Amino acid sequence: MREVLRAAIEILERYNCKWWLDAGTCLGAVRENDFIENDRDLDLGLPEKYLELWNIFIRDFLAAGFQLYKEWSHEGMRTELSFTLNGIKIDLFFYFERKDKCWTGLFGADEKGRWGENMILIPHVFSKELFNNLKEISFVGKRCYVPNPPEKYLLERYGEDWKTPDPDYKYWKDCKAIDMNFLKEDESSRSAI
């Protein structure tokens, strides 16, 4: 996992990207100063402005030996790039600003628990200030960044018990930052015009 993270950081820093350890990778870094045991994926967050580098990221990750796992999008809007290397998956989550919030879209099972073609976009919504002044940390021998303060971010994502490992955690239903109505507000205001 360390080598996969280092390779990804090298590509992102080639373009002076602002990035941070996200989701379970951030949780492991803050809570355990290591990767979460038995977690075989890495999560990195990026501001939406780096969507312009989407195809360049694909080119550079492939050149570094990664395989493209999936290009995720919702209604034509790109939201996530996923790659694999040596059996490790890495997700690049793009974060969008709206008013005083930042949100990213993850895909999960629909209301009936179906996957595949039936997956739906699940907005994860956070306080925008968490991403304004990222905190620098040393993690697995690399300079990394996390939302600031990381404890508030982890509280918003995982709830009061974020310090206690939960082997049954499911990001598509247990995340405290899920707001299924968040994007619907935009849809209703557009239809009212």
Counting other chains too, the contacts that 53-60 makes at CB distance below 8 Å and 24 or more residues apart are: 53/15, 53/17, 54/78, 54/81, 56/15, 57/11, 57/81, 57/92, 60/11, 60/14
- Bridge partner list, 88: 85
State pTM to two decimals.
0.91
The CATH code of domain 2-101+128-165 reads 3.30.460.40
Q: Tell me if 45 sits within 8 A of 91, measured CB to CB.
A: no
Per-residue pLDDT of the chain (193 residues; tens, 9 = 90+): 999 999 999 999 999 999 999 999 999 999 999 999 888 899 999 999 999 999 999 999 999 999 999 999 988 899 999 999 999 999 999 999 998 999 999 888 777 777 777 788 899 999 999 999 999 999 999 999 999 999 999 999 999 999 999 988 988 889 999 999 998 865 443 333 3
